[in-house]
Chains A and B, each alone.
Chain A
């Protein structure tokens, strides 16, 4: 029973990261039809920035996260403006290749700055707490809460504000959005910024309980793509729920089926979804 509870908790922790990353990916796909292969690298940069600020500059953990989030948001906006905007009217393949280029570039930059070693970030919540008798690293609970709060904030923004409605409108009908006077270029930039910020939150949250290294984004990107396909391309609810579901399947499958093949579970799930529900579990709706 304790093992089971432990695995559920692991699943929720990993799921928080998956969902945060997948949400950004699905938002960008939904509004711009760009599969941003470099999304996991934004997550990786979020983790590294948090690491560098906390471990090398001595900044407080939360302030470091805030700086990482703002920096990545700006980087996301710049990325949209400089790389993807000029390709808006080009064939989709061009954007995909550009995204792959950015992915390789970001990884090389991280390797150059921080080296290939595994890094680790300290957290102010280093203790162990007891959750219904289960010993749990305090930071994991902080991660669960902070991730949930960020996703809540995103949902409220998307569904309760005019700016959020403009993003959803642009995703659902870009021409109609232009006709009501929405600046869809600005929407694209804002969407990239928000998505990168979410990735940074995920990176900064995971840095103290996982290893930080240049390739850490690649696996996460793959998983996030599985989730976005699983949840329905462009669907926010799908990405949110899909992230937790996949992580739970992985942690339970890894414990009770086979630990060796844990990372394969995502792709088995993907194959099943492709076979039985090609449009995803949730209808696309930003």
Chain B
């Protein structure tokens, strides 16, 4: 279980995230909703060790306190972060991007097995393995980014707005893949602005506003919640 308590993250004197607590339980797909600048990315970065959390914050995962670990040790603990904006290695081939996702695995046969699994999930990548990742369409680049994170074979996958700036049809494909990943037992923490589509595949959700959590509950409840409907679904 991933258990975040009283997470505060500051950029200089500005507190981007304040006293946020949430958890992702085994088998769950949890969505973090929030408008631009609400603090979703900041939370993800703190969890995966890219941005230091303030004192007093606790990020417990697999019996370890993550806030004192390096990003590499966090990857080794079974947590994989697919960052906002894809962050591919644009000049490297799709195949190399994916294989680098399994950088911490040194068993060639195992890497091959994971690769086959990712290609099964994202069939369009099969024909593009030797192309530079930067040459792919937005949707396919997103597949590479998610695939690269999956290559670490994480127990929990953090996905930061995987559907941003994709065509509606591609959004559905990507989110369907996310749901499929979760069905195989991988825990997922997903951030989205696309509230309806995300809540449809999620078990539970949290709503973030100005760096604070304002609401949480089962996905079905949030979908009916007036405030969520008003803020995120234009209802």
Inter-subunit contact A179/B87 (CB<8 Å): yes
C-alpha spacing A181/B87, complex, angstroms = 14
Is A113 in contact with chain B by the CB < 8 A criterion? no
Count CB-based A-B contacts (< 8 Å): 65
Interface residues in B152-177 by Cβ distance below 8 A to A read 152
Listed residue (A173, A180, A286) with the most chain B CB atoms within 10 angstroms of its CB: A180
Is B90 in contact with chain A by the CB < 8 A criterion? yes
0/1 interface trace, chain B 85-124, chain A, CB 8 Å (1 if under): 0011111100010011101100000000000000000000
Interface segment out of the listed A84-92, A162-170, A207-215, A269-277:
A162-170
Inter-subunit contact A173/B88 (CB<8 Å): yes
Inter-subunit contact A181/B48 (CB<8 Å): no
Q: Which residue of B lies closest to A284 (CB)?
A: B91
Inter-subunit contact A172/B103 (CB<8 Å): no
Given A165-B96, A175-B50, A176-B83, are A182 and B91 neighbors across the interface (CB < 8 Å)? Answer: no
Inter-subunit contact B50/A169 (CB<8 Å): no
Is B58 in contact with chain A by the CB < 8 A criterion? no
Chain B residues with CB under 8 A of A166: 100, 103
Is B34 in contact with chain A by the CB < 8 A criterion? no
Inter-subunit contact A172/B72 (CB<8 Å): no
Chain A's interface size range is: 10 to 19
Inter-subunit contact A176/B72 (CB<8 Å): no
Question: Which label, helix, strand, loop or mixed, suits the secondary structure of the A interface?
Answer: helix
Inter-subunit contact B89/A168 (CB<8 Å): yes
C-alpha spacing A286/B92, complex, angstroms = 9
Chain A residues with CB under 8 A of B81: 179
Is A152 in contact with chain B by the CB < 8 A criterion? no
Q: Which residue of A lies closest to B81 (CB)?
A: A179
Among A178, A180, A183, A286, the residue within 8 A (CB) of B50 is: A178
C-alpha spacing A162/B151, complex, angstroms = 15
Is A8 in contact with chain B by the CB < 8 A criterion? no
Chain B residues with CB under 8 A of A98: none
Among A165, A168, A182, the residue within 8 A (CB) of B72 is: A182
Is B76 in contact with chain A by the CB < 8 A criterion? yes
Interface residues in A147-179 by Cβ distance below 8 A to B read 162, 165-166, 168-169, 172-173, 175-179
Interface residues in B37-72 by Cβ distance below 8 A to A read 48-50, 71-72
Inter-subunit contact A181/B91 (CB<8 Å): no
Given A176-B83, A181-B75, A181-B152, are A168 and B91 neighbors across the interface (CB < 8 Å)? Answer: yes
Is A59 in contact with chain B by the CB < 8 A criterion? no
Chain A residues with CB under 8 A of B204: none
C-alpha spacing A216/B72, complex, angstroms = 42
Is A52 in contact with chain B by the CB < 8 A criterion? no
Is A279 in contact with chain B by the CB < 8 A criterion? no
Chain B's interface size range is: 20 to 34
Inter-subunit contact A176/B89 (CB<8 Å): yes
Listed residue (A166, A177, A181) with the most chain B CB atoms within 10 angstroms of its CB: A181
Inter-subunit contact A180/B90 (CB<8 Å): no
Q: Which residue of A lies closest to B145 (CB)?
A: A176
Among B48, B76, B90, B99, the residue within 8 A (CB) of A179 is: B48
Chain A residues with CB under 8 A of B76: 181
Inter-subunit contact B48/A285 (CB<8 Å): no
Chain A residues with CB under 8 A of B90: 172-173
Q: How far is the CB of B179 from chain A (nearest CB, A)?
A: 23
Among B75, B92, B103, B152, the residue within 8 A (CB) of A168 is: B92
Inter-subunit contact A180/B92 (CB<8 Å): no
Inter-subunit contact A180/B87 (CB<8 Å): no
Q: How far is the CB of A95 from chain B (nearest CB, A)?
A: 22
C-alpha spacing A241/B81, complex, angstroms = 38
C-alpha spacing A183/B75, complex, angstroms = 11
Q: How far is the CB of A85 from chain B (nearest CB, A)?
A: 15
Q: How far is the CB of B50 from chain A (nearest CB, A)?
A: 6
Q: How far is the CB of A29 from chain B (nearest CB, A)?
A: 15
Residues on B lying within 8 angstroms of A by beta carbon are 48-50, 71-72, 75-76, 80-81, 83, 87-92, 96, 99-101, 103-104, 148-149, 151-152
Chain A to chain B: the 3 pairs with minimum beta-carbon distance, closest first: A181-B75, A176-B87, A181-B104
Residues on A lying within 8 angstroms of B by beta carbon are 162, 165-166, 168-169, 172-173, 175-183, 285-286
6 contacts between A and B (CB under 8 A): A165-B96, A168-B91, A172-B90, A172-B91, A173-B88, A181-B103
Given A168-B91, A168-B92, 20 other A-B contacts at CB below 8 A?
A162-B99, A165-B96, A166-B100, A169-B100, A172-B90, A172-B91, A173-B87, A173-B89, A175-B83, A176-B88, A178-B49, A179-B71, A179-B75, A179-B80, A179-B149, A181-B71, A181-B72, A181-B75, A183-B72, A285-B91
